[in-house]
Amino acid sequence: PEETVTSSFASFIHAVRPEHLSKTVRHRSKRMILDSIGVGLVGSTTHVFDIALQYCRELYSSGAVSSVYGKPGIKLSPTLAAFTNGVATHSMDFDDTWHPATHPSGAVLPALLAASQMLPPSTKPNGMDFLLAFNVGLEVQGRLMHFSTEAHDIPKRFHPPSVVGTMGSAAATAKLLSLSTAQCAHALGIAASLAGAPMANAATQAKPLHIGNATRLGFEAALLAARGMEANPLILDDIPGCSGFSVFYSVYQPKPLSTPSDHHEFLLEKQDIAFKRFPAHLGMHWVVDAALSVRNLFINYAGSFCPSLIRTIVLKIPVSKYINRPFPSSEHQARHSFQFNACAALLDGEVGLSSFTESNIQRQELRELLDKVVVEHPEDNVANFDKMYGEVALLLHSGDVLTGKCDTFYGHWRKPLSKESLLKKFRANASHVLPEEKIETIITMVDNLENLSDSSQL
Amino acid sequence: TITGNFANVIHGLNANHLTDQVIQRSKRMILDTLGVGLLGTSTEVCHKVTQYSKIYSSNISSTIWGHLDFRLPPLYAAFVNGVAVHSMDFDDTWHPATHPSGAVLPAVIALSEALPQKQKFSGLDLLLAFNVGIEVQGRLLRFSSEARNIPKRFHPPTVVGTMGSAAACAKLLALDQMKCKNALAIAASYAGAPLANAATQTKPLHVGNAAKHGLEAACLASQGLQGNKQILDMESGIGAFYTDYNPQTLPTLQSYPWLLDQQDVAIKRFPAHLGTHWVADAASSVRRKLVESSDNLLPLDKIEKVILKVPEVKYVNRPSPTSEHEARHSFQFVACSALLDGSMSVQSFASEKVHRPALRELLCKTHLEHPPDNTPSFESLYCEVSVVLRDGNMISDRCDTFYGHWRKPLEKEDLEKKFQSNASSVLPAEAIEGIIETVYNLEKVEDCSVL
């Protein structure tokens, strides 16, 4: 197997030894070390240093006050709790998706939950404050994405939650903490310097970190701004020759938000969210619904599901490299594979949590089906969550062809989950770690969020 | 501005703006997210990060340079020290452009202090890990022709610095090949900050975060977290930060050709952006000539115009800086300061100096020109300072290579002098000498935590 650039780096890091250092290199690097320490020592007398230090000391000594999902006995410092909970939220790619594409809630909610526990009893935000801050976080994300036409399609370079999610978290936390206008601007500026992770880590175990970091780092940005840290006040503007937030896009046209007089129209008003029915990338949901419909046709045709009658399975999907995987080998890859999800749906009649266990991924019957899959990219199938479709065609040995097509899966914003379905999903999920009464309490609390007097109860 | 407007909105929205539909939809989202999060706690990735995060409730800690009165968790020690290193823009610069040491040293030092007693690292281990961190940065920078010039989009320490820190920490932790790969992959997901925050108070955080996040990536990798094993190969990996990206494999280990061998760093003599060092040397020499020709006094009122011929670098072009951060990123400010005082130092950026009337007056007379042959690259740029007098005479000088640049490195005495002057602000004389001693003999030191 030929060596990749990445593995050559890893080999180097691992195998290099002191003997490999030449005299010149040793000499020069010692000078650098000396200089660097000196510079650091004098730097410890600066104002920016004081701010950073105070921030860290407070984080350390204030200790563990924020809760971690599903672990009643454990508490962590607020930003780390946000981080951990953010990771939890995106760990199975089961969280919500918006249009233009990002996972908005996971980047905002954990920070707000942690922050509300952090505030002293006299200034605890009520349910309404909480809900408002949450929406501010969502709104900022949506608005930022509208600055670039690139954002309307499934991403290729930067993973959107790591770009806009960080900004959203900063905005939401700034709101909850009631920062001044100037401080809000600085929170956004600091957050921009913490944003941006490349797509390549999608479909790996590191992907959940994107949401974890978005919520944590945005939170940190707000905390730093609260302590007086200043950043570039033009971070969202387009300044040629010196990139701000625009750096994450090749086309960037920012527009001001309308000042909220009595009537601000939130994007969430016009554009709803998609909720996932099973834990995999959103694109999979079209293909699964299409596969389920063709499966029914097949069962009517043949009496039962007989894979041996199938010669080829044709998937008509949009072009998107990171979700086109003919033979996924891990659960993370499986969640990002059109082929896998189609076959699992065909074989089992449904796709759920257990579809992604190690044993189910490796099953013989599934692998056999995967062998029969062929992928096509029709020109009219655009890589865009608002416009794409999924089509599954079974070409039988007998010459017959059965097809199923899905334009809008159940859970998409055009066909939202009913209240019952949503609750069913929540109960199923929560029951893995919580007892029934707690589950019901949470449901009730969220339902009545605006009337809650102390949001840290959540 | 758009940004100011966003801030206004965030500040000005209140509960009355929410409609029923928005309330309903967002409550559904909250509920769903909670459920998803609860479920997610049973995953492997979540177990790993919980384990990792619990570190913060234990007693493991590292020092802040110069402050022995308290300690911080290693991650935050690395962060704070990294911020310190870049806080005045006084740290080293390399070619292709980045600030290599600040992203790596704080992380490896914090790590070496934090590990359990039985695992002491020698000075040589530290030196090696440090060099791995530097080398990786240099190699990555060579994957894109964009990196040869002074940056415009992403601030390089946040891209390659994070990767370098991860590599150095992975080395110190003696991670296996697979985990080294993962450390790099995870680090990539933390990399990248836009240039717009240069010349603001946030810029030092770029280096602090690079150190901290690289360390975090290595720790997570050590716990078994996995990322994309082709992170350096793919355009959607580290390639996402560049418009042209051509990665290459590293040379074999046999007689390994270190980049630091072929290309030294530049060490700054005063705390400001590297580009201003050319300006300072040229301006100082012009001042000497001026003063010679008029009885050892600078004839301020006789100066009509000051012309600076510099490359086009927007974020260092500031005709009238108001803060120390801006002053450190201003060709104009440094030129005028050097003309007035004869040389630049740490004190040149104090508030009184930034705002003094004589300087402000001189700034008004200063203009920039961008000759087409003056390319914005630290390897090839030059600066010419010309002072035009009222009587029509013009005194100029040009600087191609300032003292401290890699083509004209600082002498040992001057490097030590810089260190002593810096360190004396927080350490006593013997400690200062002790550090100099230790660093010079680093490879012989048995336990590098004495540092």
Reading chain A (458 residues) residue by residue, the pLDDT tens digits are 444 544 454 555 555 555 565 666 656 655 666 665 555 555 556 665 566 556 555 555 446 677 777 666 667 788 888 888 888 788 778 888 888 888 988 899 889 888 888 887 777 777 777 877 888 888 889 888 988 888 777 778 899 999 999 999 999 998 888 888 888 888 888 999 898 888 888 878 888 889 989 999 999 999 888 888 888 888 888 777 778 888 888 888 887 766 554 456 677 777 888 888 888 899 999 999 999 999 999 988 888 888 888 899 999 999 888 889 999 988 888 999 999 999 999 999 989 888 888 888 899 989 999 999 999 999 999 888 888 999 999 999 988 899 999 999 998 988 888 888 888 888 787 777 777 887 787 777 777 776 666 655 55
Residues A53 and A181 in one domain: yes
CATH assignment at residue A213 = 1.10.4100.10
Enter the tokens of residue B250. 């590293």
Query: Three-class SS of residue A67?
Result: strand
Closest residue of chain B to A419, computed from CA coordinates: B28
CA-wise closest residue to B362 among B273, B302, B292? B302
Topology of domain B2-269+410-450, CATH: 2-methylcitrate dehydratase PrpD (1.10.4100)
Examine residue A326 and state whether it is found in any structural domain, yes or no.
Answer: yes
- The count of C-alpha atoms lying within 13 angstroms of the C-alpha of A44, restricted to the half-sphere facing its C-beta, is 22
Residues A343 and A428 in one domain: no
Query: Three-class SS of residue A57?
Result: helix
> Domain span at residue A230?
5-277+416-457
Q: What are phi and psi of A234, to 5 degrees?
A: -115, 25
pLDDT digit string (tens) for A111-170?
988 888 888 777 777 777 787 788 888 888 988 898 888 877 777 889 999 999 999 999
A445 in contact with B at a CB cutoff of 8 Å?
no
Residues A271 and A287 in one domain: no
Of A63, A181, A322, the CB nearest to B7: A181
Residues sharing a CB contact under 8 Å with residue A90, sequence separation 6 or more, in sequence order: A103, A106, A161, A207, A208, A210, A211, A212, B40
Mutate to test the interface with B, among A14, A29, A39, A211 (most CBs of B within 10 A): A39
Residues A333 and A375 in one domain: yes
**Looking at residue A340, what DSSP letter applies?**
H
Residues A269 and A249 in one domain: yes
Residues of A in contact with B443 (CB under 8 A): 18, 26
Enter the tokens of residue A388. 């794409």
Closest residue of chain A to B16, computed from CA coordinates: A262
Examine residue A411 and state whether it is found in any structural domain, yes or no.
Answer: no
**Total of domains in chain A:** 2
Residues A89 and A18 in one domain: yes
Contact B26 A134 (CB under 8 A): yes
Examine residue A438 and state whether it is found in any structural domain, yes or no.
Answer: yes
Alpha carbons A274 and A98: distance in angstroms, whole number: 6
Where along chain B do the CATH 3.30.1330.120 domains lie? Answer: 274-399
Examine residue A270 and state whether it is found in any structural domain, yes or no.
Answer: yes
The model scores a pTM over 0.90? no
Residues A88 and A221 in one domain: yes
Residues A126 and A246 in one domain: yes
pLDDT digit string (tens) for A183-193?
888 888 899 98
| ipTM topping 0.85 | no
| Distance linking the first and last C-alpha atoms of chain B | 48
CATH number for region B274-399: 3.30.1330.120
Query: Three-class SS of residue A155?
Result: coil
CATH assignment at residue A378 = 3.30.1330.120
Enter the tokens of residue A374. 């062929």
Are B298 and B287 spatial neighbours (Cβ–Cβ below 8 Å)?
yes
Residues A157 and A108 in one domain: yes
Count other C-beta atoms under 10 Å from residue A376's C-beta.
11
Contact B3 A201 (CB under 8 A): no
Residue A197's alpha-carbon distances to A209, A279, B44, B191, B411, in angstroms, are: 10, 22, 21, 7, 41
C-alpha R_g of chain A: 25
Q: Hey, which residues 118-157 in chain B have their CB within 8 Å of chain A?
A: 124-125, 127-128, 130-132, 134, 136, 139, 152-155
Examine residue A323 and state whether it is found in any structural domain, yes or no.
Answer: yes
Contact B46 A198 (CB under 8 A): no
Kindly compute the dihedral angle of the four CA atoms of residues B145, B162, A251, A254, in this order, to the nearest 10 degrees: -140
CA-wise closest residue to A211 among A117, A333, A85, A320? A85
Query: Three-class SS of residue A296?
Result: helix
Where along chain B do the CATH 1.10.4100.10 domains lie? Answer: 2-269+410-450
Residues A254 and A395 in one domain: no
